[in-house]
Amino acid sequence: MTRLLEKRLAPADSSAAVIATTSGAMLAAFVIAGLLFIPFGGNPFSAYSFLFSEAFGSLRGFSQTLVQATPLILIALGTIVIWRAGLGYIGFEGCFLVGAAAASWVALAGTPQGIPWALPGWGYWPAVMVAAFVAGALWAGWVGFLRVRFGGNDVLISLMANYVAVFLIQYLVSGPMRAVGDLPQTPRLPHDTWLPFIMKGMRAHWGLGIALIATLYVWWLIRATPAGFEIIVSGLNPKAARYGGIAVGRRQMSAVLLGGGLAALAGLCAVLGVQHRLMEGLSGGVGFIGVVVALLARLNPLLVIPTAVLYGGLEVGGSAMQRQTGLPTSVVLILQSLVVILILAGDILRYYRLRWPGRTPAQQLSEEKS
């Protein structure tokens, strides 16, 4: 039987190839999902019009898209740093939660639910950011230590640690940090502890600025510093890195601490920029979605921003599309899942090409050399 795919002589790594495969995968996802709208009486064209107009067609909608994208950027950056170092850490949900808890604890300074002393205005932002970052770094750090020092299974341990973090938040909002009332949550954070809005009338807050600065830092770290080079080499081939004099364990631990701290800053952005109180169910699975964003961005820090904005737009626009058209929520989730699956699966076309009838190997060689 004639093969439909033939291996390329070299992977298609050009920007045009990446854009083409990604665009084709997204188009295929929207076409397939659009066919699922028809049995429910939905018009795919009007449904997608609602999706894009709500997510990107207005200042208010785009602002909400940026709010959704902000924690995804930070968690994706944490994923990139740790995975580049060769670890399979997936405990970002836990880092997100402990970062939110630490930020809430500092924001409630001087109250029974916060730190026991009041902070001066000039010291609040450094204190809250350091507290959240350190909490996330330590939460990821103990898993990294078990992996680096004892060879523990970092994937399994970090996954189980997420549930520990969930129960920890339940304990805090039901016990020492609980507000007066029936609901398990902290008091509303003081208004002057909130992340300011970027513009009046917009929901986007300055957590986006934190995410952009973190993006530039991670890109600079990986692309332009000896430490970043050593992190990447440690992940690609630890034995060769040790032979070259690199302290692999130290570089992997530094990557884990940095990645956990970045994911914790996502929790800070969620609690100080959106919810303004710590409560159960705060994360909503954002720790796992951030990993997906990193994979879609192919572990490239600069590609994380448009990828997170796209995914945030699907979240915002998908909800609007469901409300306007009456489509089941499951159809919207199928659309989001298809986008992820087909973009990841589309990578196969960078290593293989379709074999057209009548095309000879000599023609393939001539085309790929040109």
From residue 300, give the alpha-carbon distance in Å to each of 79, 261, 341: 11, 19, 18
CATH class, domain 63-326, is mainly alpha
pLDDT category of residue 366 using cuts at 50, 70 and 90: low
pLDDT category of residue 363 using cuts at 50, 70 and 90: low
Task: Please choose, from the candidates 276, 298, 274, 277, the residue with its C-alpha nearest in 3D space to the C-alpha of residue 286.
Answer: 274
Question: What pLDDT was estimated at residue 348?
Answer: 80
pTM of the model: 0.91
Q: How far apart are CA 305 and CA 293, in angstroms?
A: 9
pLDDT digits (tens, 9 = 90+) for 316-335: 888 888 888 777 878 778 88
Mean pLDDT over each residue of the chain, to the nearest integer: 89
Three-class secondary structure of residue 185 per DSSP: strand
213, burial (CB in 10 Å: exposed 0-12, middle 13-18, buried 19+): exposed
Question: What pLDDT was estimated at residue 103?
Answer: 97
Question: What pLDDT was estimated at residue 1?
Answer: 37
Average pLDDT over residues 357-366: 55
Rank 1-5, 304-308, 311-315 by mean pLDDT and report only the highest.
Answer: 304-308
pLDDT digits (tens, 9 = 90+) for 105-134: 999 998 989 998 888 888 999 999 999 999
pLDDT digits (tens, 9 = 90+) for 188-206: 999 999 999 998 778 899 9
Residues 6 or more apart whose CB falls under 8 angstroms from that of 58 comprise: none
Question: What pLDDT was estimated at residue 357?
Answer: 61
Question: What pLDDT was estimated at residue 360?
Answer: 54
Average pLDDT over residues 8-27: 77
Residue 88: pLDDT over 60:
yes
Task: Please choose, from the candidates 78, 123, 85, the residue with its C-alpha nearest in 3D space to the C-alpha of residue 229.
Answer: 85
The pair of structure tokens assigned to 68 is 């959704």
pLDDT category of residue 3 using cuts at 50, 70 and 90: low
Question: What pLDDT was estimated at residue 121?
Answer: 84
The pair of structure tokens assigned to 71 is 């924690």
Residue 306: pLDDT over 60:
yes
pLDDT category of residue 2 using cuts at 50, 70 and 90: very low
Residue 167: pLDDT over 90:
yes
Residue 207: pLDDT over 80:
yes
Could you tell me where in the chain the CATH 1.10.3470 domains are found? 63-326
Q: DSSP code of 244?
A: T
Residue 237: pLDDT over 90:
yes
Alpha-helix residue ranges (DSSP H) falling in 225-300 = 226-236, 238-243, 248-270, 286-296
- Please state, for a pLDDT cut of 90, what percent of the chain lies above it: 58
